[in-house]
A and B are shown apart, each in its own frame.
Chain A
Amino acid sequence: MSALHYARPESLADAIAILEQYGPGARVLNGGTDLMVRFQKMQVTPEAIVDIKRVRDMSDAIVWDGDSVTIGARVVMTRLIRDERIRRRYPALVDAASTVGSIQIRNRATLAGNICNASPAADTVPPLLVHGATVQLVGSSGSRETPLDGFFLAPGKTARAPDELLVSITIPPHRSPYGAAFGRLTRRHGVDLASINMACAIDAERAVTFAFGAVGPTPITVKDTSGALADHTVSDAQRDAALQALIARTSPISDVRASAAYRSAMLLVIGRRVLAQAQQRRADFDARE
């Protein structure tokens, strides 16, 4: 066994050079709330740990450009949750970030880390997906931007190359009226991982997008093409049929958290509630304008 290399680079270039040197043997330490737990349990055995907390050009800022927002890789959940403009514009994301771990964990855990950890049950991912977020990556061969939808390849695996760092997340502007909501099911009321989670967004054109978590190897994004979901006047049966058509795209499994049958059934139950809240928020948005 070789000794573990711990690096705390101060520039992005240095960080990327170390990542390039160690390749898949390197692990990025940001908040550490996932990595350190697994490291101590020897579930990951990295050759190098690259601590990016001191990297100057990794931002811990939330930057608005008109109605578009870019969230730096160092932004922790607590900061995100407390940001007044984020709270106004993206309540679904705030609701999701507020369920990540406990207060202590949210003081350390970053939005970028929640994405890169690539848990199928990551709570902040479904709202980011329905908001059409993109991520910016910097690597040895330059920088690139890619939609979050498609970024997840498998549990724990993303399209981030071993020598790349996710430096920020951008949510594009949305024309009003717009409404989104987040929902999840857990085994207990206190701190818990989601048995299922989801977000729903209804945009100005009445297009409805859902993203589901913990019901497949990666979070998935599905768009309603029936038109039935944005419409208050459709019957419950029509609404459920449209939701079921979306849910049919998921592939829940049975594990210690829930059975596949329970997950499937809860997708519909929570789906209705999340849809209703998104509709309400959109209507409230309408009323404000």
Chain B
Amino acid sequence: MSNADAHSGITHSGIIGRPINRVGGPERVDGTYRYVGDIKIPNVLHTRLVHLDCGRARIHSVDTSAALQMPGVRAILSGKELPASVKRFGPANRDRPILAIDETTFHGEPVAIVAADTVWAAAQGAAAVVVDYQELPGIYTVEDALAPGAALVQDPALRPNSAYKETNILNEWKFGWGAVDSAEADLVVENDYTFPMMTQFAIEPFTYAVEPTSDGITVYSAIQHPNYLQRVIAEFLDMPLSRVRVIAPDPGGAFGGKQHAKFEPLLAYLALRIGRPLRLELTLEESFQAARRTSAQAHIRTGFQRNGTLVFQDVEINYLIGAYEDIAGRLVAKGSYAGGGGPYRIPNVRILARGVFSNTVPSTAMRGFGLPQMNWPVECQIDEAARELGIDPVELRMKNLPEYGEVFMPQDPPADGRWAETLRKGADAIGWGKPLPPGRGRGISMGLKLGPTTGASYAIVRLHGDGSATVLAGTSDMGQGARTVYTQIAAHELGLSPQRIMVVMGDTQGVPFDLQTSASRSAVFMGNAVLRACRDVARQVQELAAEHYKADAVIVEPGTVEVGGQRKTFDQVMTDRFSKVKGEVIGSGSARAEYDETHPLNGRPAFYEVTCTAVEIEVDKETGVMVFHKLVTVADVGRALNSQHVAMQDDGGAIQGLGHTVMEQYFMDDRGRVRNLGALDYRIPTTMDTPRELISLHVENGDGPGPYGAKGAAEGGILAVSPAVAAAVCAATGAMIRELPLTPQRIWEALHT
């Protein structure tokens, strides 16, 4: 690693990059960490939701009389009883009611909520609520939704200004460049691909509490975007932001599923209505009905020259979303825009992407944000061309990768990394081209995700009178290690040991604004804000030193000032200055990226997250059972601020990617019910399912926009797993499967039926 920092000119031989252990790690392991569910609120009532065992229904009436008589039950609210003045909510369009009013629009949409003294009493009460309803046919697939004359999932009145309000299409996005129709290709590969309906599956189920206070309301939620939730609640209740306090302890996993409000508005409304604090902890089964990743179907045509040069990419992709928009507009646009091309130089690209409403579990963000769905067909096409043209898949990809600094999407920044290095590293680590025992196969794939396009992160750093420091940063540490990385930045900039630094997050009353914790943004955006806040502190310490010692002061290295020829640490300066009347130095910093209306996504990405995944697998052809011998991920992270954390992000992304690649999927019946809610029949990889060898490598050229040249690193690991595995299965068995997940049964069917 180079010690010279291209970005700032300072050295970071010390703490930056070092694999220091996770701040908060031991507490998560020994059980002392306080999650939302561990917070005790005096006088709280426990709630349970009432839902119906069907995909869609008309609600005739809700009879709560028997349930209200049950011991411990204090209040019940049904959608039928909601005053018309109660607003709907949503992160983009406010289209979602806090309870189903006349109709349930998906399996698990609550029709009522029961508040009681205990969880058990609430559950008993919920079971005693009698709902008179008529089951209705629903829209559960892309085909159903787009069929002529299909029933409308969403009431047009909920989106009066949409050109698509009389259809089940949320919106259509058309992106591209060049001229696909007149492009001449020697080989055209044309296929259909599907990506399953799956869920984020955070180990911590969705848990909330709401407490009305004398001066406003406090909402407890393991939310990724505390400030976003604060705004949603403020608008929902017509309160000023300053009166809405969101306390967001670090989530026990989130993966995008905890970005946006779900049941916080419902609890807030009921808590204010009955004047009691409320808490709600969803079961794992209910959590499956609260959030999922957007499923997708793609039809794709890809043109190549005989020598492997990519000529055109022509994609139509339908993302099946739930009955409410949530963040789907952004997800479909951003996912399809960059995924259409991938990290390749393609002169002609045409993308048609749709978000399609259905009566299914609400779809929302998940690691990769629409990209895994798109990268799956795009990369499989390249492998198919390699097979058809007789060109090695690594060489075919190499041929089409842009050089560093080359413009490969006309309206976007040029390639910001040495991506051939990423691919080469992956190929070398997997032993590409070396002989394999029979039954085994290798596959390799790349992936590209646009970094955040807009953003706003603010940080405050307080250097205390004893030389220790508190960092206030509104990011959510959901397992990615944001606390650790900010600790490292502050430790470096202020010349302190990490033990002297405390990072405070997750309380909108004291912590400044962060737009959101998503899009692999936090190391870059909040990282820069923290860095700038530290440098603001340093500048003030310098001034303060000059004033206090009455001599010229100059910062000679981070955390050290030279005054009148003497070197003093910040610690010494603070102690000297604040020995009598106490005090502290407060620095602030921010990082913003503004809206750009001229860009198709209203903003150019801050960086590209580019990855390579390579696998070696073995298939038991008689059963379809697969064994992963080795998996390699390579991430171009610019600069790894903490090499251990980057590796853990990539390992985690790869394992999570194996989930949707080989086992994870919702099974729905023809009544729109999810048949495998919960952990028993919705399988995710266990440690026994992880590759026998799992290797995460980095490319570090210090060429990112974040602190010390960092780029984001949270999502790359998941992008390229599926196509790499499918290629490996094809190499091992001869069967190319274009429908995920590649379960043993599906592989067996491909080989035997």
- Chain A residues within 8 Å of B123, by CB: 42
Task: Report B716-753 residues with CB < 8 Å from chain A CB.
Answer: 743-745, 748-749, 752-753
Please indicate the chain B residues that have their CB under 8 angstroms from the CB of A257 in the complex: 681
In the complex, residue of chain B having the shortest beta-carbon distance to the beta carbon of A262: B745
The answer to whether A185 and B623 touch (CB under 8 A), given A256-B676, A256-B681, A265-B748, is yes
Question: In the bound complex, what is the Cα–Cα distance between A261 and B624 (angstroms)?
Answer: 14
**Distance of A239 from chain B, by nearest CB (Å):** 15
Q: Is A44 among interface residues, defined by CB-CB distance under 8 A?
A: no
B: interface residue count bin:
20 to 34
B284: nearest residue on chain A (CB-CB)?
A: A41
Interface pair A269/B687, CB less than 8 Å apart: no
Given A1-B124, A262-B749, A266-B623, A189-B689 contact (CB < 8 Å): yes
Contact A259 B622 (CB under 8 A): no
A258: Cβ under 8 A from any B Cβ: yes
- The answer to whether A188 and B686 touch across the interface, beta carbons within 8 angstroms, is yes
Check B687 against A190 for contact (C-beta < 8 Å): yes
CB distance from A74 to the nearest CB of B (A): 26
By a CB distance below 8 angstroms, the chain B residues around A189 are: 627, 686, 688-689
Q: Which of A42, A191, A261, A265 sits near B127, CB closer than 8 Å?
A: A42
Contact B686 A187 (CB under 8 A): no
B623 adjacent to A269 (CB under 8 Å): yes
Does A193 touch B at the CB level, under 8 Å? yes
* CB-nearest residue of chain A to B666: A256
> Would you call A1 and B623 a contact (CB within 8 A)?
no
Q: How far is the CA of A206 from the CA of B631 in the complex (A)?
A: 46
In the complex formed, the residue of A with least CB distance to B624 is: A262
Q: Are B675 and A256 in contact (CB under 8 A)?
A: yes
Of the residues A1, A187, A193, A261, contact of B744 by C-beta under 8 Å: A187
Report the separation of the CA atoms of residues A189 and B676 in the bound assembly, to the nearest whole angstrom: 19
Interchain nearest-CB distance for B670 vs A (Å) = 14
Neighbouring A residues of B283 by C-beta, 8 Å: 41
A181-203, CB < 8 A from B: 185, 187-193
A190 touches B744 (CB 8 A): no
Which residues of chain B are within 8 angstroms of A259 by Cβ–Cβ distance? Answer: 745
Contacts of B675 in A (CB 8 A): 256
Smallest Cβ distance from B151 to chain A, in angstroms? 27
Closest to A261 in B: B753
Please measure, in the bound complex, the distance between the C-alpha atom of A261 and the C-alpha atom of B533, giving whole angstroms: 64
Q: Is B70 an interface residue (CB 8 A)?
A: yes
- With contacts A262-B749, A266-B623 taken as known, whether A187 is within 8 angstroms of B127 at the C-beta atoms is no
Q: Could you count the A-B residue pairs with CB atoms below 8 Å apart for me: how many are there?
A: 52
Q: Is there an interface contact between A188 and B663, defined as CB atoms closer than 8 Å?
A: yes
CB–CB A262/B663 < 8 A: no
Residue interface bits A261-278, CB-to-B below 8 A is 1, else 0: 110011001100000000
Tell yes or no: B685 within 8 A of A by CB: yes
> A258–B667 Cα gap in the complex (Å)?
12
Task: Given A187-B744, A188-B663, A256-B676, verify A265-B752 contact (CB < 8 Å).
Answer: yes
Do residues A187 and B676 form an inter-chain contact, with CB atoms below 8 A?
A: no
- Per-residue CB contact flags for chain A residues 3-27 toward chain B (1 = under 8 Å, else 0) read 0000000000000000000000000
Given contacts A188-B683, A193-B680, contact A258 B127 (CB under 8 A): no
Contacts of A42 in B (CB 8 A): 123, 127
Q: Interface code B267-298, partner A: CB below 8 Å = 1, 0 otherwise?
A: 00000000000000001010000000000000
Chain A proximity of B329: nearest CB distance (Å): 32
The count of chain A contact residues (Cβ–Cβ below 8 Å) is 21
Nearest CB of chain A from residue B285's CB, rounded to whole Å: 8
B686 and A190 form a contact (CB under 8 A): yes
Interface secondary structure of A, over-half rule? loop
Q: How far is the CA of A269 from the CA of B744 in the complex (A)?
A: 13
Which residues of chain A are near B285, meaning CB under 8 Å? Answer: 41
B-contacting residues, A157-192, CB 8 Å: 185, 187-192
B619 to chain A, nearest CB (A): 13
**Interchain CA distance A185-B127 in the complex, whole Å:** 37
- Residues on the A chain within 8 Å of B124, using CB: 1
Determine which of A187, A262, A269, A270 lies in contact with B683 in the assembled complex, contact meaning CB atoms within 8 Å. Answer: A187
CB neighbours (8 Å) of A270 from chain B are 623
CB-CB under 8 A from B623, the residues of chain A are: 185, 266, 269-270
Interchain nearest-CB distance for A90 vs B (Å): 24
Q: Are B688 and A188 in contact (CB under 8 A)?
A: yes
Q: Among the listed A190, A256, A265, A266, which residue makes an inter-chain contact with B685, where contact means beta carbons less than 8 Å apart?
A: A190
Nearest B residue (CB) for A263: B745
Bound-state Cα–Cα, A264 to B689, Å: 25
The answer to whether B686 and A262 have CB atoms under 8 Å apart is no
Say whether B676 contacts A188, CB under 8 Å. Answer: no
* B689 and A190 within 8 A (CB): yes
Q: Which residues of B contact A188 (CB under 8 A)?
A: 662-663, 683, 685-686, 688-689
Tell me which residues across on chain A come within 8 A of B683, comparing CB atoms.
Answer: 187-188, 192
Residues in A234-289 with C-beta less than 8 Å from chain B: 256-259, 261-262, 265-266, 269-270
Closest residue of chain A to B687 (Cβ to Cβ) is: A190
What residues of A have a CB within 8 angstroms of the CB of B622 in the complex?
Answer: 269
Return chain B residues, CB-CB under 8 Å to A191. Answer: 686, 688
Residues of B566-595 whose CB lies within 8 A of A: none
Task: Give bound CA distance, A191 to B663, whole Å.
Answer: 13
Min CB gap B124→A, angstroms: 7
- From A187, which residue of chain B is reached at the shortest CB distance? B683
CB distance from B685 to the nearest CB of A (A): 7
Bound form: Cα–Cα A115–B749 in Å: 33
Residues of the A chain whose Cβ atoms lie less than 8 Å from the Cβ of B680: 193
Q: Contacts A190-B689, A191-B686 given: A262-B748 contact, CB under 8 Å?
A: yes
Which B residues between 606 and 639 are near A, CB-CB below 8 angstroms?
622-623, 625, 627
How close is A33's CB to chain B, nearest CB, in angstroms? 12
> CA A140 – CA B58 in complex, angstroms?
51
Report the bound CA distance from A189 to B753 in whole Å: 24
Closest Cβ–Cβ distance, residue B110 to chain A (whole Å): 17
- Nearest Cβ distance between residue B694 and chain A, in whole angstroms? 14
Q: How far is B180's CA from A117's CA once the two chains are assembled, in angstroms?
A: 62
Q: How far is the CB of B357 from chain A (nearest CB, A)?
A: 25
**CB proximity of B169 to chain A, nearest CB, Å:** 30
Per-residue contact bits, chain B 682-720, to A (CB 8 Å; 1 contact, 0 not): 010111110000000000000000000000000000000
Min Cβ gap B523→A in Å is 32
Between B123, B128, B625, the greatest number of chain A beta carbons within 10 A of the residue's beta carbon is seen for B625
B688 in contact with A190 (CB, 8 Å): yes
Whether A256 pairs with B748 at a CB distance below 8 angstroms is no
Q: Mark A195-219, 1 if CB is under 8 A from B, else 0.
A: 0000000000000000000000000
**Interchain nearest-CB distance for B252 vs A (Å):** 19
Nearest CB of chain B from residue A156's CB, rounded to whole Å: 15
Most A Cβ at <10 Å: residue of B622, B662, B745 = B745
In the complex, what distance in Å separates the CA atom of A51 from the CA atom of B324?
47
- Closest CB-CB distance, A3 to chain B, in whole Å? 9
The residues of B that contact A256 with a CB separation of less than 8 Å are 667, 675-676, 681
Contact with A along B93-118 (1 / 0, CB 8 A): 00000000000000000000000000
Q: In the complex, A191 Cα to B285 Cα: how many Å?
A: 19
**Docked complex Cα distance between A191 and B687 (Å):** 10
Give Cα A1–Cα B127 distance, bound, in whole angstroms: 11
What is the CB-to-nearest-CB distance from B120 to chain A, in angstroms, rounded to a whole number?
9
What is the chain A residue whose CB lies nearest that of B127?
A: A42
What residues on A are CB-neighbors of B743 within 8 Å?
A: 187
* Complex CA–CA separation, A266 to B752 (angstroms): 12
- Residues of chain B in range 513-529 having any CB-CB distance to chain A below 8 Å: none
Question: Which A positions have Cβ atoms within 8 angstroms of B?
Answer: 1, 41-42, 185, 187-193, 256-259, 261-262, 265-266, 269-270
Known A188-B683, A189-B689; further 4 A-B contacts with Cβ < 8 A: A1-B128, A187-B744, A262-B749, A265-B752
Q: Which 7 A-B pairs have the closest CB atoms?
A: A190-B686, A190-B688, A189-B688, A269-B622, A262-B745, A256-B667, A256-B681
Report 22 cross-chain contacts, Cβ distance below 8 Å, ordered by A residue.
A1-B70, A1-B124, A41-B283, A41-B285, A185-B623, A187-B743, A187-B744, A188-B662, A188-B683, A188-B685, A188-B686, A189-B686, A190-B685, A190-B687, A190-B688, A191-B686, A191-B688, A193-B680, A256-B667, A258-B745, A262-B748, A265-B748
